[in-house]
Each structure stands twice: as C-alpha cells, then as structure tokens.
C-alpha cells in the first residue's frame, strides 16, 4: 500500500470520498510531494471490493493488486526514467481501455508523468479521454501542467496538490530523518524548494554533507538540484521532442 502522507488528508477525503467518480482526474503539483502515492492509494480504493474508502487490503482485488497481477489495472510511465512515454505504449493502453473489466468492477489507469508524452502519444491518449469506456477511471499525474495539451487538461477533473506548509513538512521530516538536526532539516527542505520527499532524497544523496565539505560541494549541490529538477522537467532536451 502506498504511503499516506499527513499533508494529503483533506485531498484524500475530497478524492476518495466522492460518491461518484469522474472518468479522469489530473493530479498536479510540484515534484516531491507524494502525488504518485496519492494516485496509487486512490487506484487501490477504486479497485477494492470493500473500500472504506481506504482499500481493505484483503479482498481478491487488493491481493491481486499487491501481487502486481491485477487484470484491470494499468500503469503507464516512461520505460526508462526521464524518457518519453512512447506512442506505442499509449496504443497498448488504448486497447486495454476498450476491454471489459475482468473482475467485473472498475478498470483504473495511472499515467505518470503525463507531460512525458510527446504530441503523438498525447493525441492517442485523447481518444480514450473523449470516448470513455465502461467504468474506467484514468488517474493522470503531472508535475508541470504547462506542458500538457489544453485538450488533455479540459477532459479531466483537475485536482491541485499543493506544497505542504513548511511547518508540516518539518514535522514529517523530524520522523523521516531522525538523525538530522532541526537545522539540517530546514537546510534540506530549503534545498528541495519545500518538497519534503525531495528533501529526503537529497539527504540520501549526501548533498548536505558535500556542501559542508569545505567549499568543494557547491557544484555537487547544484548537480543534485538539477537532478531534482529533472524529475519535474527533462523533456526540453529529449531527442524525441524534436520530432513532435
Ligand atoms: Zn480490498
């Protein structure tokens, strides 16, 4: 089960507590705040046979999802990190969407990050958004909606996922990084532009120690920050981007 982050409580209630679900949701916000985890929880809840609305974790659907063999669940993401989602991948998804659900419930598709689709892939996806098939719910996750086709955005219920407050992030980081001092956690959160999960990943990369190592580390910090940025961007120099 994906982790439930405390700053997502009200978002979770809004999304999972709906009596009727939209055909497609666009979860958008800065990288490093747990949008993927939120989408995975929602996916599990939508597929679960006894949701409360949290997925029960015990029904046939939950067990299949845990085993990675749920027939009515589809995750579309780049085959390699920071590369494009290819049009052939979207075509495979489209043929999944038109099938009947094998367990008789919903089908749920998770796409992340949506902006890594080039124009051909995005156009192929539009068909699935325009012609909803049965009880299929599409969960689109985006770090940068400015890079999405307006036609994709307009066909989804948009759900903004804001940065948590600094106080909430620091409170969570105190548990996530118990070996760091309060001062160090503030520094990491600043380097991560306020994204708590990015702060943890920067700590794992040893960014703060490098920075402290006598002037040598500034470049490495800049590199690590560039890596962090790349999780939200990265398509500008993509070889496929020129062909779109
Ligand atoms: Zn269940």
Report the separation in Å between the CA atom of 53 and the middle of ligand 1, taken as the mean of its atom positions.
10
Q: Is residue 235 part of a domain?
A: no
pLDDT digit string (tens) for 205-220?
A: 988 777 655 433 334 4
- The domain that holds 118 is classified in CATH as 3.40.50.300
Residue 241 lies in a domain: no
pLDDT of residue 235: 38
Centre of ligand 1 from the C-alpha of residue 45, in Å: 7
The verdict on residue 1 lying in a domain is no
Tell me the two tokens of residue 177: 């990084």
CA 72 to centroid of ligand 1, rounded, Å:
14
Same domain, yes or no, for 29 and 140? yes
More confident residue, 128 or 111: 111
Cβ-based neighbours of 64, under 8 Å, separated by 6 or more:
70, 71, 103
Q: Residue 242: inside a domain, yes or no?
A: no
* Environment class of 123 (CB within 10 Å of its CB; exposed 0-12, middle 13-18, buried 19+): middle
Task: Give tens-digit pLDDT for 145-187.
Answer: 999 999 999 999 999 999 999 999 999 999 999 999 999 999 9
User: Taking the CA of residue 121 as centre, how many other CA atoms within 13 Å lie in the half-sphere pointing to its CB?
Assistant: 24
At residue 211, the pLDDT reads 63
- C-alpha 55 – ligand 1 centre gap (Å): 5
How many domains would you assign to the chain? Answer: 2
Distance from Cα 102 to the centre of ligand 1, integer Å:
16
Domain that holds residue 191: 166-230
How far is it, in rounded angstroms, from Cα 127 to Cα 164?
35
Residue 10 maps to a domain: yes
> What is the 82 CA–ligand 1 centroid distance (Å)?
32
- Final residue in a domain of this structure, among 160, 180, 197: 160
227 Cα: distance to centroid of ligand 1 (angstroms): 37
What would the pLDDT profile of 197-208 be if each residue is shown by its tens digit? 999 999 999 887
């Amino acid at each position: 089960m994906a982790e439930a982050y405390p700053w997502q409580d009200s978002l979770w209630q809004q999304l999972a507590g709906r009596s009727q679900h939209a055909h497609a949701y666009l979860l958008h916000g800065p990288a490093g705040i747990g949008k993927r985890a939120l989408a995975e929880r929602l996916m599990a809840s939508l597929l679960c046979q006894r949701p409360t609305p949290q997925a029960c974790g015990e029904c046939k659907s939950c067990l299949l999802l845990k085993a990675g063999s749920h027939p009515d669940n589809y995750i579309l993401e780049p085959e390699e990190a920071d590369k494009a989602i290819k049009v052939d991948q979207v075509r495979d998804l489209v043929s999944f969407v038109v099938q009947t659900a094998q367990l008789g419930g919903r089908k749920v598709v998770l796409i992340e990050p949506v902006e890594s689709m080039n124009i051909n892939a995005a156009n192929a996806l539009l068909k699935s958004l325009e012609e909803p098939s049965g009880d299929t719910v599409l969960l689109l996750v985006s770090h940068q909606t400015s890079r999405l086709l307006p036609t994709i955005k307009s066909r989804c219920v948009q759900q903004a996922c804001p940065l948590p407050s600094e106080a909430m992030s620091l409170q969570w980081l105190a548990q996530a990084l118990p070996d760091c001092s309060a001062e160090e956690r503030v520094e990491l959160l600043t380097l991560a532009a306020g994204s708590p999960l990015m702060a943890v990943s920067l700590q794992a990369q040893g960014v703060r120690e490098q920075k402290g190592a006598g002037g040598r580390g500034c470049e490495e910090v800049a590199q690590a920050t560039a890596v962090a940025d790349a999780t939200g961007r990265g398509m500008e120099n993509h070889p496929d981007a020129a062909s779109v």
